[in-house]
Chain A
Amino acid sequence: MRLLTVCLVMLALTVTLGCHGKKIRPLEEREQVEVEKQPKVPKAEREAEEKVPPIKPLEPVEQEQIILQSIHFDFDKYNLTDQAIATLTRNAEILLRHPDVRIVIEGHCDERGTDEYNLALGEKRAMAARDFLVRFGIEKSRISIVSYGEERPIDPSHNEEAWARNRRAEFVIR
Protein backbone atom coordinates (compact mmCIF):
# COMPACT_ATOMS: atom_id res chain seq x y z
CA MET A 1 0.00 0.00 0.00
CA ARG A 2 2.80 2.37 0.93
CA LEU A 3 4.55 1.70 -2.33
CA LEU A 4 1.44 2.44 -4.34
CA THR A 5 0.94 5.72 -2.50
CA VAL A 6 4.53 6.78 -3.18
CA CYS A 7 4.14 5.96 -6.87
CA LEU A 8 0.93 7.92 -7.18
CA VAL A 9 2.49 10.95 -5.47
CA MET A 10 5.51 10.80 -7.79
CA LEU A 11 3.34 10.50 -10.87
CA ALA A 12 1.25 13.51 -9.81
CA LEU A 13 4.41 15.49 -9.11
CA THR A 14 5.91 14.66 -12.49
CA VAL A 15 2.77 15.67 -14.38
CA THR A 16 2.54 18.92 -12.43
CA LEU A 17 6.22 19.79 -12.93
CA GLY A 18 6.01 18.86 -16.60
CA CYS A 19 3.09 21.17 -17.14
CA HIS A 20 4.97 23.98 -15.52
CA GLY A 21 7.98 23.58 -17.85
CA LYS A 22 7.61 22.84 -21.57
CA LYS A 23 4.11 22.40 -22.79
CA ILE A 24 3.53 18.77 -23.63
CA ARG A 25 0.61 17.56 -25.68
CA PRO A 26 -1.57 14.99 -24.05
CA LEU A 27 -0.63 11.38 -24.83
CA GLU A 28 -3.82 10.70 -26.79
CA GLU A 29 -3.18 13.68 -29.04
CA ARG A 30 0.35 12.52 -29.94
CA GLU A 31 -0.83 9.05 -30.78
CA GLN A 32 -3.48 10.45 -33.06
CA VAL A 33 -0.97 12.56 -34.99
CA GLU A 34 1.36 9.63 -35.58
CA VAL A 35 -1.41 7.36 -36.65
CA GLU A 36 -2.64 9.92 -39.16
CA LYS A 37 0.77 9.90 -40.86
CA GLN A 38 0.55 6.22 -41.61
CA PRO A 39 -1.88 4.46 -43.90
CA LYS A 40 -4.74 3.03 -41.97
CA VAL A 41 -3.81 -0.56 -41.27
CA PRO A 42 -5.18 -2.93 -38.70
CA LYS A 43 -3.05 -3.01 -35.56
CA ALA A 44 -2.08 -6.66 -35.95
CA GLU A 45 -0.58 -6.07 -39.35
CA ARG A 46 1.21 -2.98 -38.17
CA GLU A 47 2.89 -4.96 -35.42
CA ALA A 48 3.99 -7.64 -37.87
CA GLU A 49 5.58 -5.02 -40.06
CA GLU A 50 7.38 -3.48 -37.14
CA LYS A 51 9.10 -6.78 -36.40
CA VAL A 52 10.78 -6.85 -39.82
CA PRO A 53 14.09 -4.96 -39.84
CA PRO A 54 14.43 -1.72 -41.78
CA ILE A 55 12.80 -2.55 -45.08
CA LYS A 56 10.73 -0.28 -47.21
CA PRO A 57 7.26 -1.68 -47.55
CA LEU A 58 7.03 -3.09 -51.08
CA GLU A 59 4.23 -4.99 -52.69
CA PRO A 60 2.65 -7.78 -50.71
CA VAL A 61 5.17 -10.55 -50.04
CA GLU A 62 3.43 -13.29 -51.93
CA GLN A 63 3.41 -11.32 -55.19
CA GLU A 64 7.13 -10.40 -55.16
CA GLN A 65 9.14 -12.14 -57.82
CA ILE A 66 12.42 -13.27 -56.29
CA ILE A 67 15.33 -12.19 -58.43
CA LEU A 68 18.76 -12.54 -56.86
CA GLN A 69 21.42 -10.85 -58.91
CA SER A 70 24.91 -12.25 -59.46
CA ILE A 71 27.93 -10.47 -58.07
CA HIS A 72 31.25 -10.07 -59.85
CA PHE A 73 34.89 -10.21 -58.81
CA ASP A 74 38.25 -8.87 -59.95
CA PHE A 75 40.77 -11.24 -61.57
CA ASP A 76 42.18 -13.73 -59.07
CA LYS A 77 40.27 -12.04 -56.20
CA TYR A 78 37.56 -13.18 -53.85
CA ASN A 79 37.07 -10.02 -51.80
CA LEU A 80 33.73 -8.24 -52.28
CA THR A 81 33.79 -5.03 -54.35
CA ASP A 82 31.56 -2.08 -53.38
CA GLN A 83 29.25 -3.01 -56.22
CA ALA A 84 29.11 -6.61 -55.05
CA ILE A 85 28.26 -5.46 -51.52
CA ALA A 86 25.42 -3.28 -52.85
CA THR A 87 24.03 -6.23 -54.85
CA LEU A 88 24.46 -8.61 -51.92
CA THR A 89 22.63 -6.17 -49.66
CA ARG A 90 19.64 -6.16 -52.03
CA ASN A 91 19.78 -9.96 -52.22
CA ALA A 92 19.94 -10.17 -48.42
CA GLU A 93 16.90 -7.93 -48.04
CA ILE A 94 14.93 -10.11 -50.41
CA LEU A 95 16.01 -13.26 -48.56
CA LEU A 96 15.00 -11.74 -45.25
CA ARG A 97 11.54 -11.13 -46.63
CA HIS A 98 11.36 -14.73 -47.83
CA PRO A 99 12.52 -16.85 -44.92
CA ASP A 100 11.42 -20.06 -46.64
CA VAL A 101 13.69 -19.58 -49.61
CA ARG A 102 16.88 -21.66 -49.63
CA ILE A 103 19.70 -20.93 -52.04
CA VAL A 104 22.83 -22.37 -53.56
CA ILE A 105 25.63 -19.90 -54.16
CA GLU A 106 27.73 -20.95 -57.15
CA GLY A 107 31.28 -19.63 -57.37
CA HIS A 108 32.71 -19.21 -60.87
CA CYS A 109 35.97 -18.04 -62.45
CA ASP A 110 37.08 -16.91 -65.86
CA GLU A 111 39.00 -19.28 -68.11
CA ARG A 112 42.41 -17.88 -67.26
CA GLY A 113 44.54 -19.65 -64.71
CA THR A 114 44.69 -23.26 -63.75
CA ASP A 115 41.63 -25.47 -63.35
CA GLU A 116 42.59 -26.54 -59.83
CA TYR A 117 43.33 -23.09 -58.45
CA ASN A 118 40.15 -21.76 -60.03
CA LEU A 119 38.16 -24.48 -58.29
CA ALA A 120 39.46 -23.22 -54.94
CA LEU A 121 39.00 -19.59 -56.03
CA GLY A 122 35.36 -20.26 -56.97
CA GLU A 123 34.84 -21.83 -53.56
CA LYS A 124 36.26 -18.75 -51.83
CA ARG A 125 34.03 -16.47 -53.91
CA ALA A 126 30.95 -18.44 -52.95
CA MET A 127 32.10 -18.42 -49.32
CA ALA A 128 32.62 -14.64 -49.36
CA ALA A 129 29.06 -14.15 -50.64
CA ARG A 130 27.63 -16.59 -48.09
CA ASP A 131 29.50 -15.04 -45.18
CA PHE A 132 28.14 -11.60 -46.10
CA LEU A 133 24.56 -12.90 -46.19
CA VAL A 134 25.05 -14.67 -42.85
CA ARG A 135 26.38 -11.47 -41.27
CA PHE A 136 23.31 -9.72 -42.64
CA GLY A 137 21.10 -12.11 -40.72
CA ILE A 138 20.34 -14.90 -43.18
CA GLU A 139 20.52 -18.28 -41.51
CA LYS A 140 23.56 -20.25 -42.63
CA SER A 141 21.43 -23.37 -42.93
CA ARG A 142 19.49 -21.74 -45.78
CA ILE A 143 22.63 -21.39 -47.89
CA SER A 144 24.76 -24.04 -49.51
CA ILE A 145 27.69 -23.34 -51.79
CA VAL A 146 29.35 -25.04 -54.74
CA SER A 147 32.35 -24.03 -56.80
CA TYR A 148 32.37 -24.66 -60.53
CA GLY A 149 35.81 -23.14 -61.07
CA GLU A 150 36.12 -22.26 -64.74
CA GLU A 151 33.81 -25.07 -65.88
CA ARG A 152 30.66 -23.06 -66.52
CA PRO A 153 31.33 -19.73 -68.22
CA ILE A 154 28.22 -17.74 -69.14
CA ASP A 155 30.14 -16.04 -71.93
CA PRO A 156 32.40 -18.40 -73.92
CA SER A 157 34.34 -15.56 -75.58
CA HIS A 158 38.02 -15.05 -74.84
CA ASN A 159 38.21 -11.34 -74.01
CA GLU A 160 38.20 -8.99 -71.01
CA GLU A 161 34.46 -8.40 -71.23
CA ALA A 162 33.66 -12.11 -71.17
CA TRP A 163 36.17 -12.78 -68.41
CA ALA A 164 34.62 -10.03 -66.26
CA ARG A 165 31.14 -11.54 -66.73
CA ASN A 166 32.37 -15.02 -65.91
CA ARG A 167 34.09 -14.09 -62.61
CA ARG A 168 30.93 -14.29 -60.55
CA ALA A 169 28.87 -15.76 -57.76
CA GLU A 170 25.36 -16.79 -58.76
CA PHE A 171 22.44 -17.21 -56.38
CA VAL A 172 20.25 -20.11 -57.36
CA ILE A 173 16.99 -20.79 -55.53
CA ARG A 174 16.69 -24.41 -54.51
Chain B
Amino acid sequence: MRIFPWLLVILLATAAWAQPDVRLRVTREEYAAIRIAIADSTRGLQPSLENMHGNFLNHFNWALEVTGYLEIVTMNDEDKPQAIIILHASAGAASIAYEIRLVDHPSKATIFKRRYVCATETVRSTAYVAADDVIFALTGRYGIASSQIAFVAGKKPNSHLYVINLDGSGLRRLTSLPGIVMSPAWSPSGTKLAYVSYEKGKPDLYVVDLRTLSTTRFLAFDGLNATPAWSPDGKSLAVTLSKDGNPEIYVISIDGKSMRRVTFYSGIDCSPTWAPNGLEIAFTSDRTGSPQIFITDLDGISVRRITHQGSYNTSPAWSPEGDLIAYVSRIDGRFQICTVDPFGINVNVLTEIGNNEDPAWSPDGMHIAFSSTIGGKTGIYIMKKDGSFKRLIVEGFESARNPSWTRTTGLTASQREGS
Protein backbone atom coordinates (compact mmCIF):
# COMPACT_ATOMS: atom_id res chain seq x y z
CA MET B 1 0.00 0.00 0.00
CA ARG B 2 2.88 2.38 0.74
CA ILE B 3 4.05 2.15 -2.81
CA PHE B 4 0.66 3.20 -4.15
CA PRO B 5 1.02 7.01 -3.76
CA TRP B 6 4.37 6.92 -5.53
CA LEU B 7 2.99 4.89 -8.38
CA LEU B 8 0.23 7.43 -8.69
CA VAL B 9 2.73 10.28 -8.78
CA ILE B 10 4.76 8.56 -11.48
CA LEU B 11 1.65 7.78 -13.52
CA LEU B 12 0.41 11.35 -13.21
CA ALA B 13 3.78 12.76 -14.17
CA THR B 14 4.00 10.45 -17.17
CA ALA B 15 0.51 11.38 -18.21
CA ALA B 16 1.40 15.05 -17.98
CA TRP B 17 4.42 14.61 -20.26
CA ALA B 18 2.55 12.55 -22.81
CA GLN B 19 0.42 15.18 -24.48
CA PRO B 20 -2.93 13.94 -25.70
CA ASP B 21 -2.19 15.02 -29.25
CA VAL B 22 -3.75 12.95 -31.98
CA ARG B 23 -2.28 14.97 -34.81
CA LEU B 24 0.43 13.65 -37.05
CA ARG B 25 3.70 13.96 -35.17
CA VAL B 26 7.15 13.90 -36.64
CA THR B 27 8.89 11.31 -34.55
CA ARG B 28 12.51 10.25 -34.55
CA GLU B 29 11.69 7.11 -36.53
CA GLU B 30 10.07 9.02 -39.37
CA TYR B 31 12.41 11.94 -39.28
CA ALA B 32 12.89 12.05 -43.06
CA ALA B 33 11.63 15.40 -44.35
CA ILE B 34 8.13 15.66 -45.75
CA ARG B 35 8.45 16.50 -49.45
CA ILE B 36 6.20 19.31 -50.64
CA ALA B 37 5.91 21.00 -54.01
CA ILE B 38 4.71 24.56 -54.57
CA ALA B 39 2.55 25.31 -57.59
CA ASP B 40 2.25 29.05 -58.21
CA SER B 41 -0.74 29.66 -60.45
CA THR B 42 -0.44 33.45 -60.31
CA ARG B 43 -0.81 35.13 -63.70
CA GLY B 44 -0.78 38.72 -64.88
CA LEU B 45 0.24 40.57 -61.70
CA GLN B 46 0.94 44.22 -62.44
CA PRO B 47 4.71 45.00 -62.48
CA SER B 48 4.52 47.12 -59.30
CA LEU B 49 3.42 44.07 -57.34
CA GLU B 50 5.80 41.55 -58.93
CA ASN B 51 8.58 42.44 -56.53
CA MET B 52 6.28 42.08 -53.54
CA HIS B 53 5.11 38.71 -54.80
CA GLY B 54 8.72 37.56 -55.21
CA ASN B 55 9.44 38.58 -51.62
CA PHE B 56 6.42 36.68 -50.41
CA LEU B 57 7.56 33.50 -52.12
CA ASN B 58 11.09 33.83 -50.73
CA HIS B 59 9.84 34.28 -47.18
CA PHE B 60 7.25 31.54 -47.59
CA ASN B 61 9.83 29.02 -48.87
CA TRP B 62 12.33 29.91 -46.19
CA ALA B 63 9.71 29.50 -43.46
CA LEU B 64 8.92 26.01 -44.71
CA GLU B 65 12.52 24.92 -45.11
CA VAL B 66 13.91 26.37 -41.87
CA THR B 67 11.80 23.85 -39.96
CA GLY B 68 14.22 21.19 -41.11
CA TYR B 69 11.44 18.67 -41.54
CA LEU B 70 9.89 19.95 -44.78
CA GLU B 71 11.70 19.69 -48.09
CA ILE B 72 10.59 21.71 -51.10
CA VAL B 73 10.73 19.61 -54.24
CA THR B 74 9.47 19.96 -57.81
CA MET B 75 6.17 18.68 -59.08
CA ASN B 76 7.97 15.94 -60.99
CA ASP B 77 6.96 12.45 -60.05
CA GLU B 78 10.58 11.36 -59.49
CA ASP B 79 10.77 13.90 -56.65
CA LYS B 80 7.83 12.10 -55.07
CA PRO B 81 6.08 15.11 -53.52
CA GLN B 82 3.83 14.05 -50.64
CA ALA B 83 1.81 17.27 -50.62
CA ILE B 84 1.33 20.20 -52.99
CA ILE B 85 0.77 23.83 -52.07
CA ILE B 86 -1.31 25.55 -54.73
CA LEU B 87 -0.79 29.26 -54.39
CA HIS B 88 -2.59 32.01 -56.27
CA ALA B 89 -1.96 35.73 -55.87
CA SER B 90 -4.44 38.40 -56.98
CA ALA B 91 -3.85 42.13 -56.92
CA GLY B 92 -5.63 44.63 -54.73
CA ALA B 93 -5.02 48.40 -54.70
CA ALA B 94 -1.71 48.24 -52.87
CA SER B 95 -2.00 44.73 -51.55
CA ILE B 96 -1.96 41.16 -52.65
CA ALA B 97 -4.47 38.52 -51.69
CA TYR B 98 -3.18 34.98 -51.57
CA GLU B 99 -5.27 31.91 -51.86
CA ILE B 100 -3.37 28.93 -50.52
CA ARG B 101 -4.60 25.39 -50.89
CA LEU B 102 -2.75 22.43 -49.45
CA VAL B 103 -3.52 19.16 -51.15
CA ASP B 104 -2.38 15.65 -50.47
CA HIS B 105 -0.45 13.95 -53.27
CA PRO B 106 -1.33 11.93 -55.18
CA SER B 107 -4.86 11.67 -53.74
CA LYS B 108 -5.49 15.40 -54.47
CA ALA B 109 -7.58 15.62 -51.30
CA THR B 110 -7.64 19.18 -49.95
CA ILE B 111 -6.04 19.42 -46.50
CA PHE B 112 -6.88 23.10 -46.09
CA LYS B 113 -7.66 26.22 -48.06
CA ARG B 114 -7.22 29.77 -46.75
CA ARG B 115 -6.91 33.38 -47.94
CA TYR B 116 -4.29 35.85 -46.75
CA VAL B 117 -3.99 39.56 -47.50
CA CYS B 118 -0.75 41.47 -47.23
CA ALA B 119 0.59 44.94 -47.94
CA THR B 120 4.23 45.82 -48.58
CA GLU B 121 5.06 46.13 -44.87
CA THR B 122 3.38 42.85 -43.94
CA VAL B 123 4.71 40.62 -46.71
CA ARG B 124 7.21 38.87 -44.45
CA SER B 125 4.89 38.27 -41.50
CA THR B 126 2.02 37.17 -43.75
CA ALA B 127 4.27 34.70 -45.56
CA TYR B 128 5.28 33.28 -42.15
CA VAL B 129 1.68 33.01 -40.96
CA ALA B 130 0.70 31.22 -44.18
CA ALA B 131 3.70 28.90 -43.96
CA ASP B 132 2.94 28.18 -40.29
CA ASP B 133 -0.60 27.13 -41.25
CA VAL B 134 0.81 24.72 -43.83
CA ILE B 135 3.32 23.35 -41.33
CA PHE B 136 0.64 22.96 -38.68
CA ALA B 137 -1.64 21.11 -41.07
CA LEU B 138 1.17 18.70 -41.97
CA THR B 139 2.82 18.15 -38.60
CA GLY B 140 0.54 19.33 -35.81
CA ARG B 141 2.88 22.09 -34.71
CA TYR B 142 3.74 25.58 -35.90
CA GLY B 143 7.09 26.31 -37.47
CA ILE B 144 9.88 28.54 -36.20
CA ALA B 145 10.01 31.26 -38.85
CA SER B 146 8.14 33.68 -36.59
CA SER B 147 10.48 33.23 -33.67
CA GLN B 148 13.16 35.34 -32.08
CA ILE B 149 16.30 34.74 -30.12
CA ALA B 150 17.67 36.75 -27.22
CA PHE B 151 21.41 36.45 -26.76
CA VAL B 152 24.48 38.01 -25.21
CA ALA B 153 27.44 39.16 -27.31
CA GLY B 154 30.64 41.10 -26.84
CA LYS B 155 34.12 40.48 -25.56
CA LYS B 156 33.88 39.61 -21.88
CA PRO B 157 33.35 41.50 -19.62
CA ASN B 158 31.95 44.15 -21.99
CA SER B 159 28.82 42.57 -23.37
CA HIS B 160 25.34 43.57 -24.43
CA LEU B 161 21.96 41.88 -24.50
CA TYR B 162 20.31 41.60 -27.93
CA VAL B 163 17.15 40.27 -29.52
CA ILE B 164 17.02 39.20 -33.17
CA ASN B 165 14.44 37.48 -35.35
CA LEU B 166 15.39 34.03 -36.55
CA ASP B 167 15.57 35.34 -40.12
CA GLY B 168 18.18 37.90 -39.08
CA SER B 169 15.85 40.90 -39.15
CA GLY B 170 14.73 43.13 -36.29
CA LEU B 171 17.97 43.31 -34.31
CA ARG B 172 17.50 45.20 -31.03
CA ARG B 173 20.05 45.99 -28.32
CA LEU B 174 18.47 46.04 -24.88
CA THR B 175 21.37 47.22 -22.72
CA SER B 176 22.68 50.77 -22.87
CA LEU B 177 26.17 50.34 -21.41
CA PRO B 178 28.53 47.42 -22.03
CA GLY B 179 29.06 45.20 -19.01
CA ILE B 180 28.64 41.72 -17.65
CA VAL B 181 25.28 40.39 -18.74
CA MET B 182 24.18 36.79 -19.00
CA SER B 183 21.41 34.17 -18.97
CA PRO B 184 18.54 35.88 -20.82
CA ALA B 185 15.29 33.92 -20.39
CA TRP B 186 12.04 34.60 -22.25
CA SER B 187 8.76 34.61 -20.40
CA PRO B 188 6.35 32.02 -21.84
CA SER B 189 4.34 34.78 -23.54
CA GLY B 190 7.48 36.10 -25.23
CA THR B 191 6.88 39.61 -23.91
CA LYS B 192 9.46 39.76 -21.12
CA LEU B 193 13.08 38.82 -20.67
CA ALA B 194 14.71 38.03 -17.35
CA TYR B 195 18.51 38.31 -17.32
CA VAL B 196 21.50 38.77 -15.08
CA SER B 197 23.44 42.02 -15.11
CA TYR B 198 26.31 43.46 -13.09
CA GLU B 199 24.98 46.98 -13.58
CA LYS B 200 25.36 47.59 -9.83
CA GLY B 201 28.65 45.73 -9.57
CA LYS B 202 27.29 42.29 -8.71
CA PRO B 203 25.04 39.70 -10.30
CA ASP B 204 21.45 40.94 -9.91
CA LEU B 205 18.36 39.83 -11.76
CA TYR B 206 16.57 42.19 -14.12
CA VAL B 207 13.34 41.89 -16.07
CA VAL B 208 12.72 43.93 -19.21
CA ASP B 209 9.31 44.25 -20.84
CA LEU B 210 9.87 44.17 -24.59
CA ARG B 211 6.65 46.04 -25.29
CA THR B 212 7.54 49.09 -23.21
CA LEU B 213 11.30 48.51 -22.85
CA SER B 214 10.92 49.27 -19.15
CA THR B 215 13.51 47.47 -17.06
CA THR B 216 13.20 46.58 -13.39
CA ARG B 217 15.80 45.20 -11.02
CA PHE B 218 13.77 42.25 -9.86
CA LEU B 219 16.16 40.57 -7.39
CA ALA B 220 19.20 42.01 -5.65
CA PHE B 221 19.91 39.83 -2.64
CA ASP B 222 23.45 39.58 -1.29
CA GLY B 223 25.55 37.32 -3.48
CA LEU B 224 24.27 35.58 -6.59
CA ASN B 225 20.95 36.45 -8.20
CA ALA B 226 21.32 34.28 -11.24
CA THR B 227 20.12 31.73 -13.79
CA PRO B 228 16.45 32.77 -14.17
CA ALA B 229 13.87 30.36 -15.60
CA TRP B 230 10.18 31.24 -16.02
CA SER B 231 7.61 28.77 -14.85
CA PRO B 232 5.38 27.50 -17.68
CA ASP B 233 2.47 29.61 -16.41
CA GLY B 234 4.69 32.71 -16.38
CA LYS B 235 3.81 33.46 -12.75
CA SER B 236 7.12 32.51 -11.13
CA LEU B 237 10.84 32.51 -11.72
CA ALA B 238 13.17 29.76 -10.60
CA VAL B 239 16.51 31.33 -9.76
CA THR B 240 19.84 30.66 -8.09
CA LEU B 241 20.47 32.73 -4.95
CA SER B 242 23.37 32.51 -2.52
CA LYS B 243 21.82 34.78 0.08
CA ASP B 244 21.59 31.95 2.61
CA GLY B 245 25.28 31.15 2.32
CA ASN B 246 25.32 28.86 -0.67
CA PRO B 247 24.10 28.75 -4.28
CA GLU B 248 20.60 27.27 -3.96
CA ILE B 249 17.50 27.20 -6.14
CA TYR B 250 14.43 29.19 -5.16
CA VAL B 251 11.07 29.77 -6.80
CA ILE B 252 9.85 33.35 -6.55
CA SER B 253 6.48 34.63 -7.69
CA ILE B 254 6.62 37.50 -10.17
CA ASP B 255 4.46 39.61 -7.89
CA GLY B 256 7.17 39.19 -5.26
CA LYS B 257 4.72 37.84 -2.71
CA SER B 258 6.08 34.36 -2.24
CA MET B 259 9.41 32.62 -2.23
CA ARG B 260 10.20 28.99 -1.63
CA ARG B 261 13.56 27.29 -1.41
CA VAL B 262 13.77 24.17 -3.54
CA THR B 263 17.29 22.79 -2.94
CA PHE B 264 19.08 22.07 0.33
CA TYR B 265 22.71 21.16 -0.19
CA SER B 266 25.97 22.73 0.93
CA GLY B 267 27.60 22.67 -2.52
CA ILE B 268 26.47 24.15 -5.83
CA ASP B 269 22.85 24.00 -7.02
CA CYS B 270 22.10 26.17 -10.05
CA SER B 271 20.63 26.46 -13.57
CA PRO B 272 17.00 25.47 -12.95
CA THR B 273 14.74 24.57 -15.89
CA TRP B 274 11.05 23.75 -15.58
CA ALA B 275 9.22 20.66 -16.71
CA PRO B 276 6.47 21.88 -19.07
CA ASN B 277 3.86 20.68 -16.56
CA GLY B 278 5.36 23.00 -13.92
CA LEU B 279 5.64 20.22 -11.35
CA GLU B 280 9.36 19.57 -11.46
CA ILE B 281 12.63 21.39 -12.00
CA ALA B 282 15.81 20.01 -13.52
CA PHE B 283 19.01 21.64 -12.29
CA THR B 284 22.76 21.28 -11.98
CA SER B 285 24.28 20.15 -8.69
CA ASP B 286 27.71 18.93 -7.57
CA ARG B 287 26.22 17.01 -4.63
CA THR B 288 27.70 13.75 -5.92
CA GLY B 289 31.19 15.20 -6.30
CA SER B 290 30.97 16.55 -9.83
CA PRO B 291 28.36 18.66 -11.61
CA GLN B 292 25.45 16.49 -12.75
CA ILE B 293 21.84 17.03 -13.75
CA PHE B 294 19.14 16.27 -11.19
CA ILE B 295 15.36 16.57 -11.16
CA THR B 296 13.49 17.70 -8.07
CA ASP B 297 9.89 18.35 -7.16
CA LEU B 298 9.07 21.86 -5.95
CA ASP B 299 9.32 20.78 -2.30
CA GLY B 300 12.88 19.58 -2.79
CA ILE B 301 11.95 16.20 -1.32
CA SER B 302 11.96 13.86 -4.28
CA VAL B 303 15.27 14.33 -6.06
CA ARG B 304 16.74 12.06 -8.72
CA ARG B 305 19.92 12.16 -10.77
CA ILE B 306 19.49 11.77 -14.51
CA THR B 307 23.06 12.06 -15.87
CA HIS B 308 25.50 9.29 -15.07
CA GLN B 309 28.14 9.53 -17.78
CA GLY B 310 31.22 11.69 -17.35
CA SER B 311 32.22 14.12 -14.64
CA TYR B 312 30.76 17.36 -16.01
CA ASN B 313 27.13 17.74 -17.01
CA THR B 314 25.57 21.21 -16.72
CA SER B 315 23.09 23.69 -18.24
CA PRO B 316 19.92 21.60 -18.46
CA ALA B 317 17.10 22.81 -20.71
CA TRP B 318 13.80 20.92 -20.55
CA SER B 319 12.08 20.64 -23.93
CA PRO B 320 8.65 22.29 -24.37
CA GLU B 321 7.14 18.85 -24.98
CA GLY B 322 8.76 17.42 -21.87
CA ASP B 323 10.30 14.46 -23.63
CA LEU B 324 13.96 15.49 -23.46
CA ILE B 325 16.39 17.50 -21.42
CA ALA B 326 19.25 19.07 -23.37
CA TYR B 327 22.46 19.74 -21.45
CA VAL B 328 26.19 20.30 -21.80
CA SER B 329 28.57 17.41 -21.21
CA ARG B 330 32.35 17.43 -21.10
CA ILE B 331 33.50 14.62 -23.37
CA ASP B 332 37.21 14.07 -24.04
CA GLY B 333 38.02 17.52 -22.70
CA ARG B 334 35.50 19.34 -24.89
CA PHE B 335 31.96 20.48 -24.25
CA GLN B 336 29.13 18.93 -26.24
CA ILE B 337 25.36 19.25 -26.34
CA CYS B 338 23.50 16.09 -25.35
CA THR B 339 19.90 15.13 -24.68
CA VAL B 340 18.55 12.68 -22.15
CA ASP B 341 14.99 11.69 -21.31
CA PRO B 342 13.59 12.67 -17.88
CA PHE B 343 14.27 9.17 -16.63
CA GLY B 344 17.99 9.42 -17.38
CA ILE B 345 18.01 6.47 -19.73
CA ASN B 346 18.45 7.47 -23.37
CA VAL B 347 21.39 9.79 -24.00
CA ASN B 348 22.19 11.29 -27.40
CA VAL B 349 25.33 13.31 -28.11
CA LEU B 350 24.36 15.95 -30.67
CA THR B 351 27.63 17.82 -31.34
CA GLU B 352 31.16 16.65 -32.02
CA ILE B 353 33.28 19.59 -33.18
CA GLY B 354 34.54 22.47 -31.06
CA ASN B 355 33.01 23.52 -27.75
CA ASN B 356 29.24 23.72 -27.57
CA GLU B 357 27.27 25.25 -24.72
CA ASP B 358 24.04 26.97 -23.65
CA PRO B 359 21.36 24.71 -25.20
CA ALA B 360 17.96 26.41 -25.59
CA TRP B 361 14.85 24.84 -27.12
CA SER B 362 12.90 26.27 -30.02
CA PRO B 363 9.26 27.08 -29.26
CA ASP B 364 8.17 24.10 -31.39
CA GLY B 365 10.36 21.72 -29.38
CA MET B 366 11.99 20.40 -32.56
CA HIS B 367 15.22 22.42 -32.51
CA ILE B 368 17.96 23.42 -30.12
CA ALA B 369 19.89 26.69 -30.27
CA PHE B 370 23.37 26.66 -28.76
CA SER B 371 26.60 28.60 -28.70
CA SER B 372 29.45 26.92 -30.49
CA THR B 373 33.01 27.35 -31.67
CA ILE B 374 32.36 25.00 -34.63
CA GLY B 375 33.32 27.71 -37.10
CA GLY B 376 36.39 28.86 -35.16
CA LYS B 377 34.68 31.75 -33.41
CA THR B 378 31.87 31.59 -30.88
CA GLY B 379 28.48 32.02 -32.53
CA ILE B 380 24.90 30.89 -32.12
CA TYR B 381 23.79 27.88 -34.11
CA ILE B 382 20.58 25.93 -34.33
CA MET B 383 20.09 22.24 -35.03
CA LYS B 384 17.30 19.74 -35.07
CA LYS B 385 16.84 17.90 -31.82
CA ASP B 386 18.56 14.83 -33.25
CA GLY B 387 21.68 16.91 -33.92
CA SER B 388 21.21 17.21 -37.69
CA PHE B 389 20.80 20.33 -39.83
CA LYS B 390 23.23 22.60 -37.95
CA ARG B 391 23.18 26.22 -39.12
CA LEU B 392 24.88 29.40 -37.91
CA ILE B 393 22.12 31.92 -37.28
CA VAL B 394 23.70 34.79 -35.39
CA GLU B 395 26.68 36.16 -37.30
CA GLY B 396 28.79 39.26 -37.10
CA PHE B 397 28.96 39.51 -33.30
CA GLU B 398 31.93 38.97 -31.04
CA SER B 399 31.23 35.75 -29.13
CA ALA B 400 27.46 35.54 -29.40
CA ARG B 401 26.26 33.19 -26.64
CA ASN B 402 23.50 32.38 -24.08
CA PRO B 403 20.60 32.05 -26.56
CA SER B 404 16.98 31.98 -25.41
CA TRP B 405 14.32 31.26 -28.01
CA THR B 406 10.65 32.27 -28.18
CA ARG B 407 7.78 32.56 -30.60
CA THR B 408 7.32 36.10 -31.88
CA THR B 409 4.25 37.70 -30.45
CA GLY B 410 2.09 40.21 -32.24
CA LEU B 411 1.38 38.21 -35.41
CA THR B 412 -2.35 38.38 -35.64
CA ALA B 413 -4.97 36.32 -37.28
CA SER B 414 -6.12 39.45 -39.11
CA GLN B 415 -3.73 38.49 -41.88
CA ARG B 416 -5.82 35.41 -42.41
CA GLU B 417 -9.17 35.54 -44.16
CA GLY B 418 -11.70 32.78 -44.10
CA SER B 419 -10.68 29.35 -42.92
Contact = CB atoms under 8 A, between A and B. Distances in A.
Interface stretch (A6-14, A90-98, A118-126): A118-126
B268 A120 contact: yes
B291 A76 contact: yes
B314 interface: yes
B165 interface: no
Given A76-B290, A145-B223, A147-B203, A123 B247 contact: yes
B271 A116 contact: yes
Contacts of B223: 123, 145, 147
Nearest to A124: B268
B280 interface: no
A115 B401 CA distance: 9
A112 B333 CA distance: 9
B180 A117 contact: no
Contacts of B270: 116-117, 119-120
B224 A147 contact: yes
Interface string B348-361: 00000001011000
Contact of B357 (A115, A120, A145, A148): A115
Contact of A119 (B203, B290, B358): B203
B156 A117 contact: no
B224 A119 contact: yes
Given A114-B314, A147-B203, A119 B328 contact: no
A115 B182 contact: yes
A117 B183 contact: no
Contacts of A116: 182-183, 226-227, 240, 270-271, 284, 314-315
A151 interface: yes
Contact of A150 (B156, B311, B330): B156
B247 A151 contact: no
A113 interface: yes
B176 to A, nearest CB: 19
Range class of the B interface residue count: 35 or more
Contacts of B226: 116, 119-120
A174 to B, nearest CB: 11
A161 to B, nearest CB: 16
B283 to A, nearest CB: 10
Given A120-B224, A120-B226, A146 B201 contact: yes
Interface in B173-217: 180, 182-183, 196, 198, 201-203
B358 A120 contact: no
B294 interface: no
Contacts of A113: 312, 314, 330, 335
A112 B291 CA distance: 14
A148 B227 CA distance: 14
A152 B157 contact: yes
A127 B242 CA distance: 10
A112 B312 CA distance: 11
Interface string A130-173: 00000000000000011111111100000000000000000000
Interface in B291-327: 291, 311-312, 314-315
Contacts of B157: 148, 151-152
Nearest to B315: A114
A92 B39 CA distance: 78
B267 interface: yes
B146 interface: no
Given A115-B401, A116-B182, A151-B156, A124 B291 contact: no
B82 to A, nearest CB: 41
A146 B223 CA distance: 6
Nearest to B182: A115
A152 B291 CA distance: 22
Contacts of B269: 120
16 contacts: A76-B291, A76-B312, A112-B330, A112-B335, A115-B358, A116-B227, A119-B182, A119-B227, A120-B242, A120-B284, A123-B242, A146-B203, A148-B180, A151-B157, A151-B180, A153-B156
Given A119-B182, A119-B226, A120-B240, 4 more contacts: A115-B182, A116-B183, A119-B270, A121-B268
Q: 3 closest A-B pairs (Cβ-Cβ)? A: A120-B270, A120-B247, A117-B314
